[in-house]
Each structure stands twice: as structure tokens, then as C-alpha cells.
Amino acid sequence: MSNEWWRGATVYQIYPRSLADANGDGVGDLAGVTQALPYVAELGVDGIWLSPFFTSPMRDFGYDVADHLGVDPLFGTLADFDALLLEAHRLGLKVIVDQVWSHTAAEHPWFQESRSSRTNAKADWYVWADPKPDGTPPNNWQSWMGGPAWRWDSRRQQYYLHNFLPQMPDLNFHCTAVQDAVLEVARFWLDRGVDGFRLDTANLYFHSRALQDNPPLQEGQRGASPVLMQRHVHNADQPEAPVFFERLRALMDSYGARMAVAEIGGADPLPTMMEYTQGAQRLHTAYSFAFLGDRPDAKHVLRYLAPWSEETGGKAWPSWAFSNHDAPRVASRWGGGAVGAFAFGGSGDAVLATAGATPVTWLALLLALRGTVFLYQGEELGLPQSTVAFEDLRDPYGLANWPLNPGRDGCRTPFPWRADAPQLGFSSTARTWLPMDAAHAPLAVDQQLADPASTLNATRQLLALRRKHAALRLGDLEVLVAEGDVLVIRRRYVDAVSDELLLAFNLGSNSATVPWPLAGGSCGAPLFTHAGAALERDQLQLPAGAALYLPLV
């Protein structure tokens, strides 16, 4: 694969806690991931993204890092990681690791030194500020985990910034020594052979030095919690960020075929995504939240895709996902019962469901998009969101917001491998870190492998088509029809040999008939069809939830 292997690639997101438990303690681990890699490779994906496995007190399940260079004993050892990396590369899989750089755990040695005095060598490595004269925090910034984004530290007699949990202090990227230290972390993992990084909350690296209050959102735009009631113009999206990303890109380019994908949240993340990924000196791509909320109709899909098209300048490259470890599973969110939503930058509102559409509908749409695709573990099985009882909740966001919002545990329950095995084959223990979902048993891997019509086998077929057709991986995208729930697009790649496909979707619950949208031309036999989609007498017949891939000749 070329240095730009990531363009059009499909990357399988692994949440290590929940994929496979090799040592029988009820928690997934790196050895379990290694055992699962042949299954992942057989799906037909190009690589994996590993959510954090670093040393951590696990208040936020690894997104609170206490040692960026160590593996938490819960997941194994550095030797286990090296074995995983070796096996992944043997199977032809790239490996992207999560990097959490906007903040650390309070236990991190950097923070322990920084909080010890106002004059130590790391005194300005975190965001410290004096209180207002009345003792209150320096400004009105709010935490994504609830409450003010400031915590008083009695040792320094100052507040420190935490955009998430109070035990997750934010690093001060205005300090050059912090940038240098973070780049050394990157170098450590690049030297071990990783193929790239997913950058957690990348637009929170820098804050406004003046610490101004964030302005309120207009009425009608405000969410249900304080953090969703203000515009994050001073604690995010600062102009210094691209300069740091250029430093990171230069380091990564010195290692050859590497990539970085930035998580960029917020109410209007698109301008920041474009800015951070513009040209060949900054980040390779940005992870979009566009499809992690309410089910879009065709016009919304068009609105999300349009800014990234070749016709609008297209120098930045998008990434797309329909599910991840922070959002309710798409099978329920768009095709089952309504559930609560959480994502950094998301609305937190209840989301919609659609009768007629199935998980295959959404997979066919996701794998038809122009950009890099991220597929969350279990999405290929069509797993629905799990309901986790309050006494079993582990997510701090869910515990703080229950019952209005049960948090993120419902998309993190352990993976079902074998329907008749104890703990569905995930673990040999009697109790797993989150309960196994009995509703996932009929959707277990062994059941779906034996069923030619399963979601798993449809995913394999769709991934094989994406790998085979340059039009799907790299081609232009043109929207031909976007009316109601009907979306028809053309993907076209022109090189020595032209590759062109027409892809049609009915995202709704009512059947639709669409006249052939192209003047002239013809098509070959369908490459993929779902829910009875067909081309009949120059008309696209699209029952509810239909998907159709046609080669154009």
C-alpha cells in the first residue's frame, strides 16, 4: 500500500476492554485482541484503531492516562502490545493507537510535580489560574462531565483546568516543553512500529491565554446541560493548534507511511476540521461527528458530504463513522428504539429510529462514502444498544446523568463470539466488567458466519467491494438524488481505466420509485442489493431500507 494507505481505508475500532478476555479476569486485554485479529482481518478492513490501553486509574476507562509510555497491567504488558503489533502487521493490518494528549490523569508524574509549587520545573505544564477576588473560578467554562471546568488545588492555592473529570487536568500546550514532551511520546510509539494515531479531543489542546468567559448559545441552540449552553470559543479551536500539528506531521512524515486522525468536537466543528487537515503539512484527516446523532435524511447526508467534495476544493480529507465507544449504537439509534446520546460535542438529545432500515442499510451507506471509514466493533454484527441496569453502570457520565441519560456503557458491553458459550465466548469468568447482553446471543459471530444472509456476511461483501473498486476508495462523489429518504450517488475514479458506480439508498420506512438519474449510459449486473432493491425498466425500485450498488459501463 502507498504512503497514503489511509485514503479510502476502512479502520476497525477496537475497545480493548470489550473485545476478548484472554486471562479470564472479566476484562478484555491485548492478548485477547491478538487472538481476535484473524477475525478482524477476514472482515476485509485495512487496519485497527486501539482505544487507550495505557497505565491509568481508569476513572474514564483509559482516557485518563497516568503513563503515556506504559501498558496498564489490566491489559497486559509492552511485550503483549509488541506481539499484537507483530501479528497485525503479519495479517496486513495497520495499527492506529489512541493518544490522549489534551489532559492527563491527576496521578501522572507531570501533574504531581506541577502541583507541588509555583516554581518547580513543570509549574506551567498545566493550566493554572488564580481565583477571582471572591474565590470563585477564573471564568465560566464548563466541564463535559458536569460542573465547572476548574478545580481548586490547596497546594498551589490556584485553580487548574479540567475539561472532563476533575481528576483529569488539562495540559498547557502554550508551554513549549509540553509540546516537546508530547512529541517524545509520539516518537516512542512510532519507534515501536505503530502506523498512526487517533488524537483524542484534538481541538482542546490550546485555550485562550486571557481566560475570557465563553459566550452563551442563542436560545433554541442550547442543550440540556451547562456545557451545552455556551459557545466554546475560548477553551477550544485556538489559532496556535495548527502550528503544533505541523510539528507533529513533520515527525510522522519522517517515519514514512503514517497517519493521524483528529477527534474534533463542538457545535460547529467543520471549519476547525478543515483548518487542521488542510494541505500536506498538518493532520491527515479529521474524525467527523456528523453521523453520530439523529438519523439524517437524504438532504442532511448531502449537507454533510458537500464541503468535502472535489468541487468545493477538496484538499482536506474526511473520515466518517456511524458508531463509536461514545455514541449509542447505530442499529438502535437509526433502526430500533430511541436511546440517549453522548458524544464529545454531541447534543445529548434522544435520537430517532427508522422502521424498515436494517444495520445492513447503514453499513452499505457508510462504506459508499468518500473518505476514510471507521467501523466500531460489533457494528458488523448489527449489535443493538444494550440496556445496562443502574447498579451495573461504570461510565462516570452515565452515573452523573442517570436516568435522563444512561451514558456510554450501552455501546461498550462485551463482544459476542459464540451464542452457546459461557459469557458468549468473551471470557471464562462468571462476571464480566459490564454484563453480557443476552439480546446479542443470536447475533454472535458463530451464528452469523453460518448464515449467508447475515449482517456479518453482508459486511464482508461490502468491504470486499470497497477494496476492489477504486471508485469507492478514492473516487469523486456526486449526489444525483437527495429527496426525502432517497439518496442516489455516483462514485467515479478515472485513471488508466475508469471505474464508476451508482449507489442508491432508501433510508426511510416507505417504498420509493426513482427514475434512472443519468442521461444515457448503462449498467451491469448489481454488485450488491439489499431489501429488494432493483433496477426495473429504467426505474430504481427502492423498498424501505433498500441499498443497491450498480456498476456503470
pLDDT single digits (tens) 322-363: 999 999 999 999 974 333 333 333 333 333 445 688 999 999
Residues 6+ apart with CB under 8 A from 227: 142, 143, 144, 146
Q: What is the largest CA-CA distance in the chain?
A: 79
Mark whether 344 and 302 lie in a shared domain: yes
> Among the three residues 424, 439, 462, which one is the final residue of a domain in this structure?
462
Residue 4, in any domain of the structure: no
Distance of alpha carbon 289 from alpha carbon 269, whole angstroms: 8
Percent of the chain predicted with pLDDT > 90:
87
Which of 295-309, 352-366, 498-512 has the weakest average pLDDT?
352-366
Amino acid 338: pLDDT: 34
Choosing from 440, 462, 484, the residue where a domain stops is: 462
The secondary element (H helix, E strand) that includes residue 480 is strand 476-483
In a domain, 140, yes or no: no
Which domain CATH number covers 483? 2.60.40.1180
* Average of per-residue pLDDT values in the chain: 93
**Whether residue 377 is found in the same domain as residue 414:** yes
Residue 119: closest CA among 156, 72, 91 = 156
- Domain identity same for 363 and 429: yes
Question: Can you give the pLDDT at residue 268?
Answer: 84
Distance CA(267)–CA(255), nearest Å, equals 35
Decide if 388 is inside a domain. Answer: yes
d(CA 386, CA 400): 19
| 139 is a domain residue | no
Percentage of the chain exceeding pLDDT 70: 95
Distances (CA, A) of 337 to 331, 333, 354, 385, 387: 9, 7, 9, 9, 11
pLDDT of residue 212: 98
Residue at 372 is within a domain: yes
Q: Which of 283, 290, 325 is nearest to 307 (CA)?
A: 290
- Residue whose grid cell is 417504498: 511
pTM of the entire structure? 0.95
Q: What is the pLDDT of residue 354?
A: 54
pLDDT for the residue 533: 97
Say yes or no: 428 and 489 in one domain. Answer: no
Q: Which region, left, alpha or beta, applies to residue 464 given φ > 0 means left and ψ of -120 to 50 means alpha? A: alpha
pLDDT at position 327? 94
Number of structural domains (the chain) is: 2
pLDDT at 495: 86
- Enter the C-alpha cell of residue 152: 481548586
At 72, which CATH number?
3.20.20.80
Looking at the domain assignment, is residue 155 inside a domain?
Answer: no
Kindly state whether residues 482 and 434 are assigned to the same domain.
no
pLDDT digits (tens, 9 = 90+) for 142-170: 999 989 999 999 999 999 999 999 999 99
Residues 436 and 303 in one domain: yes
Same domain, 480 and 457: no
Length of the chain counted residue by residue:
553
Q: For residues 46 and 279, give the distance between their C-alpha atoms in angstroms, rounded to a whole number.
A: 24
Domain that holds residue 398: 10-104+175-462
- Please tell me whether residues 231 and 92 are part of one structural domain: yes
Q: Does pLDDT of 49 surpass 90?
A: yes
pLDDT tier, 300 (very low <50, low <70, confident <90, very high otherwise): very high
> Are 185 and 251 found together in one domain?
yes
pLDDT digits (tens, 9 = 90+) for 423-452: 999 999 999 999 999 999 999 999 999 999
| Region of poorest pLDDT, from 69-73, 111-115, 141-145, 275-279 | 275-279
Averaged over 215-228, what is the pLDDT?
91
Radius of gyration (C-alpha) of the chain in whole angstroms: 23
- 375-427 per-position pLDDT tens digit: 999 999 999 999 999 999 999 989 988 888 899 999 999 999 999 999 999 99
Residue at a domain's end among 462, 491, 519: 462
> Is residue 134 one of the residues assigned to a domain?
no
- Please name which of 75, 70, 63 lies closest in space to residue 32, comparing C-alpha atoms: 75
Q: Are the beta carbons of 231 and 254 closer than 8 angstroms?
A: no
Mean pLDDT, rounded, for 479-503:
94
Q: Say yes or no: 488 and 367 in one domain.
A: no
Say what the pLDDT of residue 311 is. Answer: 56
Q: What is the pLDDT of residue 355?
A: 63
Record the cell numbers describing residue 474, joined without a space. Answer: 478514492
529 and 406 in a single domain? The answer is no
Find the mean pLDDT for residues 42-62. Answer: 97
Whether 405 maps to a domain, the answer reads yes
Say yes or no: 426 and 508 in one domain: no
Which residues are known catalytic residues?
200, 263
CA-CA distance, 478 to 80, in Å (whole number)? 45
